[in-house]
Homo-oligomer: A and B are copies of this chain.
Amino acid sequence: MPLWPIHQKNRIKRVIISTYQAASGAGAAAMEELVESTRANLNGQVYTPKVMPHPYAFNLFNHNTAVDPETGYNDEETKVIKETRKIFEDDRIAVGVTCVRVPVLRAHCEAITFECEKPISEDQVRALLAAAPGVRIVDDRAANYFPMPIDASGQDDVLVGRIRKDLSDPSGHSISIFVAADQLLKGAALNAVQIAELLPERVMA
């Protein structure tokens, strides 16, 4: 969602994403498993995973969807690639992605590096995001305050911060950001409402 206003001004050619996905994306049972296995761990007890494929307490692992034996990508990653192209109405956008479950109860995070067709600055990205509905910039370098799951939980807004030049692309076409959003809201009901609201605007654009 934070890439859309940028893409409209300066086409995004390539995106590399690493996710930090919460238990909530796998449902209430996964959240309970994270809580109960962590409690057991703290009490020195053994806990046998029931919902997740691996121990979840103070651990992280590849996303719990099936991994394509040919490509090595898990189904969540394939979905991210397909949906990005669909939402952006751009089949050429190149997407690389790694989806990981982290021991967070609610709200997903993503470290995103994107490359635009034309040069782009931090300030341009900040201005575009500041004007984007549903996006809140959380980017306080002095206080080391950036998007966090606990701040995104229960919020409609997608939090975006760590807006900075991608130092691996000296051409000045690439920016890195860090995003946190409550996918229970953003991925489901609210999203449907917002898409409906945006439709006339999109059709007119």
Contact = CB atoms under 8 A, between A and B. Distances in A.
Interface on chain A toward B: helix, strand, loop, or mixed SS?
A: mixed
Interface string A3-20: 000000000001110101
B164 A72 contact: yes
Interface in A51-101: 53-55, 58-62, 64, 66-69, 71-74, 81, 94-98, 100
A167 B95 contact: yes
Given A60-B149, A150-B55, A168 B96 contact: yes
A102 to B, nearest CB: 5
B59 A104 contact: yes
A173 interface: no
B18 A111 contact: yes
Nearest 3 A/B pairs, CB to CB? A72-B164, A96-B168, A18-B18
